[in-house]
Amino acid sequence: MKPQTFISNSPEETIQFASQWGAKLPLGSVIVLQGNLGSGKTVFVKGVAKGLGVEEVVTSPTFVLVNEYQGRIPIYHLDLYRIESSDQADSVGYEEYFDSNGMTLIEWGERVKPFLPKKAIWLKFEVLGEKKRRIRIHGIKQ
């Protein structure tokens, strides 16, 4: 995947972009979302889910670690913010999602970087203003 940058001026723009972008990805895609708290990672997941036909409300799985949604394909939304060690990450069983027939989106995935598949697509979120965000997309481990 060729690196690209998207500038969003609002959460609505992020959702629209993510909806179109995510709908083009193949089954089994693993997307790693990096960025500070409040940088737009969960908003992006909401957009991908919308583009894949998810009708339920998408929320951050910070405390439950994984939320599963059903659209045209299954979506697995992991939030590893509270993970402090690789042993703790293993207890989540996150690797089973990597070979699924769905799409896996991982917030704070850099915490398990050595275990991520080489095919992972990395997105870096940067706050540029109150609602403005820069999203950098790379198709290889960062």
Distance between CA atoms of 76 and 87, rounded to whole angstroms? 20
Distance between CA atoms of 98 and 106, rounded to whole angstroms? 10
Out of 3.40.50.300, 3.50.50.60, 3.40.50.970, 3.30.70.20, which CATH number does the structure's domain 17-125 have?
3.40.50.300
Instruction: Return the minimum-mean-pLDDT range out of 1-15, 34-48, 82-96.
Output: 82-96
Q: Which pLDDT tens digit goes with each residue over 43-100?
A: 999 999 999 999 999 988 776 778 999 999 999 999 888 777 666 666 666 677 787 8
